[in-house]
Amino acid sequence: MVLEEPRTKSDLVNEIDSSFSTLNEYLQAFPKEKIDQLIVGDYNYRDVIAHLYEWENFLVSSLVGISKNTLIPHKLNIKKMNREFYDRNKFKSIDEVMKLLTDSHQKLITYLKEFDEKLLGLPDPYYPEKHTVYTLAQHCSSLHYPWAIRFLKNFTPKA
């Protein structure tokens, strides 16, 4: 399989920032008094925000390992990772996870601006046959934010 050619680092940073801005506008428009009442399946509003924060942190850690050539490529058990992310954050407040998401986004953007652009074209260390580091970054951030908006739109008040 031929890997897609990455665009520029600037394209990636702008895409992530734009998608995050859309997410942030949606989150800010959510009525605060309804947040605690919203649930989909086993997850609530806080869980979705914490999920995004955790994936951004995972991405930054991965990028650091890629840039230092210390990351050992391996397949991910995404279901297990998501469960661990949930367990780590299930007792945090909504305000706390919102701050963590804002902080992790800033950390991601700051790190990406310093990241070696040539490395974005390398194979994804977790799924090298399908993706590049560029697409790994997209999946953990700019493509993840619209998923969160769609997921949050499905929330219904608790009975």
Q: Please say if the pLDDT value at position 2 is more than 50.
A: no
* Average pLDDT score over the chain: 89
10 belongs to a structural domain: no
Higher pLDDT, 43 or 5: 43
3-state DSSP call for residue 40? strand
13 belongs to a structural domain: no
1 belongs to a structural domain: no
Q: Once rounded to an integer, what is the mean pLDDT over residues 8-18?
A: 95
Inter-helix orientation angle 9-29/94-114, to 10°: 170
DSSP 91: T
Q: Model-level pTM greater than 0.85?
A: yes
119: burial class by Cβ within 10 Å (0-12, 13-18, 19+)? middle
75 belongs to a structural domain: yes
9 belongs to a structural domain: no
Among 7-21, 33-47, 61-75, 98-112, the range scoring the smallest mean pLDDT is 33-47
Q: Please say if the pLDDT value at position 82 is more than 50.
A: yes
From CA 52, how far away is CA 69, in angstroms rounded? Answer: 25
What per-residue string of b and e applies to 6-44 under the rule 16 or more CB within 10 Å gives b? Answer: beebeebbebbbebbeebeeebeeeeeeebeebbeeebb
Domain count, the chain: 1
From CA 151, how far away is CA 27, in angstroms rounded? Answer: 12
Q: Which two tokens stand for residue 18?
A: 């734009």
From CA 127, how far away is CA 133, in angstroms rounded? Answer: 10
31 belongs to a structural domain: no
Structure confidence by residue, pLDDT tens digits, 111-128 = 999 999 999 999 999 998
Which domain does 128 fall in, by range?
A: 19-25+37-157
74 belongs to a structural domain: yes
Q: Please say if the pLDDT value at position 14 is more than 80.
A: yes
Indicate which CATH number applies to the domain containing 140: 1.20.120.450
pLDDT > 90: percent of the chain:
70
Q: Once rounded to an integer, what is the mean pLDDT over residues 1-20?
A: 79
122 belongs to a structural domain: yes
Whether the Cβ atoms of residue 74 and residue 126 lie closer than 8 Å to each other:
yes
Confidence class for position 156, pLDDT limits 50, 70, 90: low
3-state DSSP call for residue 38? strand
